[in-house]
Amino acid sequence: MIILGRITPSFRQLYEETIAELKSELQAAMVDLGHKSAFDLILKDAWNREQAAMGNSTLPTVCDKLNLLASVHNRKLTAAISKEMREKDVKIKQLSDRIIELENSVKIIMDKLRDPSNT
């Protein structure tokens, strides 16, 4: 007697199938080339790199896993940009303070040149 069981596809199979469908149905229909490019980037930079993490997730569907991972990836990028902006703000403040110092020095020198008796 042969007992046939239900064959459950692996996460990898479901992932590949879902990505193929998203590429052919969603990405192919996108009009904005920037969106098409962004889709490729999230596929390369987030989804493909974290297949194992998604495979270990208990979320019910591949799309749920893709969506969550895309959100995590976007949050990582947002945090990096925020940190970079804070660092640039500090540098701008330092440069601004230095400009004020130089302006004050020039003013003092100009005042001395105008009235040498003030020294």
Contact 67, 43 (CB under 8 A): no
- Per-residue pLDDT tens digits for 23-41: 999 999 999 999 999 999 9
Cα-Cα-Cα-Cα dihedral sign, residues 35, 40, 45, 47: positive
Instruction: Decide: 71 and 54 in contact? Cβ < 8 Å.
Output: no
In percent, the amount of the chain with pLDDT more than 70 equals: 93
pTM over 0.85: no
Instruction: Give the model confidence (pLDDT) of 93-116 as tens digits.
Output: 999 999 999 999 999 999 999 987
Residue 42 is given by DSSP the state H
- Quick check: 91 pLDDT over 90? yes
